[in-house]
Amino acid sequence: MKRVIHVAVGVVVDGRGRVLIALRSEQTHQGGLWEFPGGKCEPDEPVEHALARELFEEVGITVLHQYPFCLIRHDYGDKEVLLDVRKVDAFSGVAVGKEGQPIRWADTSALEPSQFPAANRSIIRRLQLPHSIVITGAAESEEDFFDRFMRLLDTAPAMIQLRAPELDATAFLARATRCLQLCRRCGVRLVLNTEPALGNHLRADGLHVNSQALLSLDHRPVADDRLFGASCHTLEELQHAEMLGADFAFLSPVQETTSHPGRSALGWQTFQSLASAVSVPVFGLGGLTSDDVGVAQRHGAAGIAAISAWWPMPLGR
């Protein structure tokens, strides 16, 4: 049976929002790559104790507050690693490489996954995800849609998902092409909610599939340099998204919505239970607004996604 190494990993954040990274020795496994500091848990040692111990021994800081960030399992072939990642948002002391290793504080946007061990790359993807994802909704016409889209861009969202199930492939492609041009000018990431074949026709920042399309897939439908997201409602769907290597998932509905009046809401406790069962970053969806980001994160969410919070329903609908 392949051995599993349980590792406590710290995403240590300073007052400027930068994260602490350290360079692995050339003589170690995956040497010469940057990593998030941490180390192996001793037998029966609680992960929070292991992380505090390792951070003090490696970089000389005392952890004052930490909380779970994500779990990542990675198979290197000769061994399997379970990264128990915790975020450290309060500490005392000045970070130094106590073992002679180079360390630095880095902006999350500047982290380059290829410079890290494979198991660390999922941490980077999660760090670079926004706290909220805006989903486009209905419009009375194309002119009305782009009036709304331009007003949305004025609010400087970090990421927009283009969703338009009412359009055929030709119309969706035309709308997506124009949206992508506008987003590129504003530095906003655009994810397309569509069939993989159509989504891959454009080099948008990512692809998002609904739950039905998700379950029909047997491999990741986009390259690793683009995001892949999926809409989920059950644990089975979340696990399938995880198996495919999804970068994030939507789990809904957290609360009752007017758009799906017959569907029972999960509630935050059930949401937390389902989201904690997978290593995929999960966004809450359904009846949420920007005011819910904090409560979502306290229940294990990466953030929230929403339509109506940022895209009011057209008059007459």
Residue 19's CATH number:
3.90.79.10
Token duo for residue 72: 């990542």
The CA distances from residue 257 to 17, 132, 238, 251, 287, in Å, are 34, 18, 21, 14, 5
Q: Let me know if residue 150 belongs to a domain.
A: yes
Q: Which domain holds residue 267?
A: 132-306
Residues 199 and 213 in one domain: yes
Q: Let me know if residue 312 belongs to a domain.
A: no
Token duo for residue 221: 């439908």
Residues 169 and 120 in one domain: no
Q: Let me know if residue 223 belongs to a domain.
A: yes
Residues 89 and 150 in one domain: no
Residues 35 and 58 in one domain: yes
| Count of residues making up the chain | 317
- Beta-strand relationship, 189-193 and 103-106: unpaired
Residues 140 and 95 in one domain: no
pLDDT of residue 31: 65
pLDDT of residue 173: 95
pLDDT of residue 125: 83
Residues 211 and 103 in one domain: no
| Mean pLDDT in residue range 82-109 | 93
Residues 42 and 103 in one domain: yes
Does the pLDDT value for residue 57 go beyond 90? yes
Residue among 124, 81, 86, 112 nearest 9 (CA): 86
Residues 63 and 143 in one domain: no
Q: Let me know if residue 247 belongs to a domain.
A: yes
Q: Let me know if residue 93 belongs to a domain.
A: yes
Q: Give this prediction's pTM.
A: 0.79
Residues 185 and 235 in one domain: yes
Residues 28 and 44 in one domain: yes
pLDDT of residue 316: 52
Confidence of residue 13 (pLDDT cuts 50, 70, 90): very high
Residues 120 and 215 in one domain: no
pLDDT of residue 2: 66
Strands (E), 211-298: 227-232, 248-251, 282-285
Q: Let me know if residue 311 belongs to a domain.
A: no
Q: Give the CATH number for residue 204.
A: 3.20.20.70
pLDDT of residue 262: 64
Q: Dihedral, CA atoms, 41, 44, 50, 53, nearest 10 degrees?
A: -110
Residues 107 and 137 in one domain: no
Q: Among 84, 108, 127, which residue terminates a domain?
A: 127
Query: What percent of the chain is modeled with pLDDT above 70?
Result: 95
Q: Among 127, 159, 181, which residue terminates a domain?
A: 127
Number of domains present in the structure of the chain: 2
pLDDT of residue 241: 96
Q: Let me know if residue 313 belongs to a domain.
A: no
Q: Let me know if residue 171 belongs to a domain.
A: yes
> Which residue is it, tokens 């406590």?
8
Q: Among 71, 106, 127, which residue terminates a domain?
A: 127
